[in-house]
Chains A and B, each alone.
Chain A
Amino acid sequence: MNNIFAIASVVLKEMYRRKDFYVLFVLTALITLVMGSVNIFNDDKVVRYLKEICLLLIWVSSLVIAITTAARQIPAERESRTIFPLLAKPISRNQMILGKFVGCWIACALVLVVFYLFFGVISGAREHFWPVVPYMQALFFHWIFLGIVIALVLWGSLVFTAVSSNATICFIIVAGIMLLGGHLNQIAGRMNGISATITSAIYYIIPHLEFYDLRDWIIHDRGVVAWGPWLIASVYGLVYSAIFLGLACIAFRRKALTL
């Protein structure tokens, strides 16, 4: 555990010394504030569109941060050869993968806290209403979602050679699941034969990332999400993160490291 947190602390240091987060946060804040200053028929109480834009920017920014940060972790260690002095220490490859995961995941948690605080302030200032519990539920779900994405990207970084190809493929997979994942059963229902079976199998195999998108829920003030399903989906997300991490550990263990 000590090794895992030591590696995670380095990932966090890298995160706050790089400019990515600051740039994305400033961009998000700027666009939201500009959109907030647009005159909508002289009504300053219109809030839902602002929440929608702000949340969309938060989702895109956090996804970009999670994918780019996780995708470069192992390749950057290999490219800069920092992996050699590191693995020459009493640390296993599994611990290294877990450390990278924990680091990226904690970094994302911090990023999300900052983003959601901004979101809370912006929406609260307009509607004078602070639904703290639904916002916390949305933040936690978002974090679980990023956990699955980070684990997937870490695995991808051991399968694909180039950082850019891994990041692009993972981005497409995540976007594809978000848009179509939940509808694959309906699509399969309209197919016949082997293609229906394959589509149906994909539907049951993929992690249903769309669960974690509570944007519509909080934009339209639908209250607190039922705790039972919320808990089940959280466990479901953690299981998928563990599966992808396991695959990453296996892939890394099989990889020969040569100077």
Chain B
Amino acid sequence: MNAVVEIKDLRVEYPSRELGQKTKVAVNGLTLKVSAGEVFGFLGPNGAGKTTTMNVLLGFVNPTSGSASIFGVDVREPIARQRIGYLPELTYYYKFLNAEELLRFYAKIFNIPKSEREKRIDDVLKLVELDHARTRLIKTYSKGMQQRAGLAQALINDPDLLILDEPTSGLDPLGRMKVREIIQRLKERGKTVLFSSHELGEVETVCDRIGILCQGELRAEGRVADITAQHQTNLERVFLKIVGYQEA
């Protein structure tokens, strides 16, 4: 299968705020491939390097060493993001815009022709079930609705790769289920999804493959079934073992 995301020996250092320490390593020697049509789950405790890796893929942070490419294009090139959809962990959008205007704005950036633009906006709003609230200002939306508006903007360009940073964080069970359903639908449409999450159950249900990151290093990678079989226990225990949690 073709690699949609390819990360080779990635290292990211930040200037450290602690005394006597010049830099802090956020990601250390990460090598990873995500193939087309796959749903890949990024797992790890807080500070493991998941978000930093996504930041590199999105061009927000430059790698200290190593490389990362999307569809074979270096992530530092803006064009690499032409076929990407991205949903940040916390979705905040322009308060003075409504969902329709927000999507129109992003559609313009993707250079979607005017004739196609409005149809695409309709489709996406229907997909995330926000069609009824399309002309309401986003600031009046509930948290779940805002998250779905976030998903809508991530889908406006009909992306081949979706990068979702903890997409269900802070949502109620119903909201989480709706987001999971959307990911499932995208998977059925052959889209590649790379997402990070703390919800192990969710990862188990949705992902084809997972990677467990700890202290900036990839500690385990593969299909959920293979990993659990290898460790002869369930995913939660595997995760706790890898991150070094000792049960009392």
Direct contact of A and B (CB under 8 A): yes
Which residues of A are in contact with B by a Cβ distance under 8 Å? 2-3, 5-7, 9-10, 13-14, 17-18, 80-82, 84-92, 95, 256-259
A259-B110 in contact (CB<8A): no
Kindly list 5 other residue pairs between chains A and B, CB separation below 8 angstroms, not including A14-B94, A80-B93.
Answer: A13-B96, A88-B163, A89-B81, A90-B82, A256-B61
Shortest Cβ distance from residue A227 to the other chain B in the assembled complex, whole angstroms: 38
Rounded to whole angstroms, the CA-CA distance of A130 and B61 in the bound complex is 56
A6-B109 in contact (CB<8A): yes
In the A-B complex, list the 6 residue pairs whose CB atoms are closest, starting with the nearest: A88-B86, A6-B108, A257-B60, A17-B96, A90-B82, A80-B92
Shortest Cβ distance from residue A87 to the other chain B in the assembled complex, whole angstroms: 6
Is there a chain A Cβ closer than 8 Å to B111's Cβ? yes
Task: Among B58, B90, B105, B109, point to the contact of A81 (Cβ < 8 A).
Answer: B90
Interface residues of B in 89-138 (CB under 8 A from A): 89-97, 101, 105-106, 108-111
B150-A85 in contact (CB<8A): yes
Known: A10-B105, A13-B97. Is A2-B111 also a contact (CB below 8 A)?
Answer: yes
Shortest Cβ distance from residue B65 to the other chain A in the assembled complex, whole angstroms: 16
Rounded to whole angstroms, the CA-CA distance of A100 and B7 in the bound complex is 33
Is there a chain A Cβ closer than 8 Å to B51's Cβ? yes
Rounded to whole angstroms, the CA-CA distance of A7 and B52 in the bound complex is 26
Task: Among B55, B101, B150, point to the contact of A13 (Cβ < 8 A).
Answer: B101
Contacts of B94 in A (CB 8 A): 10, 14, 80, 82
A90-B88 in contact (CB<8A): no
B101-A84 in contact (CB<8A): no
Is there a chain A Cβ closer than 8 Å to B79's Cβ? yes
Is there a chain A Cβ closer than 8 Å to B154's Cβ? yes
Rounded to whole angstroms, the CA-CA distance of A217 and B61 in the bound complex is 51
Contacts of B108 in A (CB 8 A): 2-3, 5-6, 9
A90-B110 in contact (CB<8A): yes
Q: Which residue of B lies closest to A9 (CB)?
A: B105
A6-B58 in contact (CB<8A): no
Shortest Cβ distance from residue B140 to the other chain A in the assembled complex, whole angstroms: 14
Classify chain B: how many residues form its interface, as a range: 35 or more
Which residues of B are in contact with A by a Cβ distance under 8 Å? 14, 51-52, 55, 58-62, 78-82, 84, 86-97, 101, 105-106, 108-111, 150, 153-154, 157, 163, 165
Q: List 19 A-B contacts (CB under 8 A).
A: A9-B108, A10-B94, A13-B101, A80-B95, A82-B92, A82-B94, A84-B60, A85-B150, A86-B109, A87-B58, A89-B109, A90-B81, A90-B109, A90-B110, A91-B81, A92-B78, A95-B78, A257-B60, A258-B60
Known: A81-B88, A88-B58, A90-B78. Is A259-B105 also a contact (CB below 8 A)?
Answer: no
Contacts of B96 in A (CB 8 A): 13-14, 17-18
Q: Which residue of A lies closest to B84 (CB)?
A: A88
Rounded to whole angstroms, the CA-CA distance of A17 and B95 in the bound complex is 10
Rounded to whole angstroms, the CA-CA distance of A9 and B97 in the bound complex is 11
Q: Which residue of B lies closest to A256 (CB)?
A: B61
Contacts of B80 in A (CB 8 A): 90
A10-B150 in contact (CB<8A): no
Contacts of A9 in B (CB 8 A): 105, 108
Task: Among A2, A13, A92, A258, point to the contact of B61 (Cβ < 8 A).
Answer: A258
Rounded to whole angstroms, the CA-CA distance of A95 and B61 in the bound complex is 18
Rounded to whole angstroms, the CA-CA distance of A81 and B146 in the bound complex is 13
A89-B110 in contact (CB<8A): yes
Rounded to whole angstroms, the CA-CA distance of A148 and B89 in the bound complex is 37
A256-B60 in contact (CB<8A): yes
Task: Among A2, A84, A89, point to the contact of B106 (Cβ < 8 A).
Answer: A89
Rounded to whole angstroms, the CA-CA distance of A84 and B91 in the bound complex is 10
Shortest Cβ distance from residue A3 to the other chain B in the assembled complex, whole angstroms: 5
Q: Which residue of A lies closest to B106 (CB)?
A: A89
Task: Among A13, A81, A87, A258, point to the contact of B59 (Cβ < 8 A).
Answer: A87
Shortest Cβ distance from residue A231 to the other chain B in the assembled complex, whole angstroms: 34
Contacts of B101 in A (CB 8 A): 13
A87-B60 in contact (CB<8A): yes
Rounded to whole angstroms, the CA-CA distance of A191 and B127 in the bound complex is 72
Contacts of B154 in A (CB 8 A): 85
Rounded to whole angstroms, the CA-CA distance of A95 and B86 in the bound complex is 19
Q: Which residue of B lies closest to A6 (CB)?
A: B108
Rounded to whole angstroms, the CA-CA distance of A81 and B96 in the bound complex is 15
Q: Most chain-A Cβ atoms within 10 A of its Cβ — which of B52, B59, B60, B97?
A: B60
B153-A85 in contact (CB<8A): yes
Q: Most chain-A Cβ atoms within 10 A of its Cβ — which of B58, B84, B101, B150?
A: B58
Known: A13-B96, A90-B79, A256-B62. Is A84-B88 also a contact (CB below 8 A)?
Answer: yes
Contacts of B60 in A (CB 8 A): 84, 87-88, 256-259
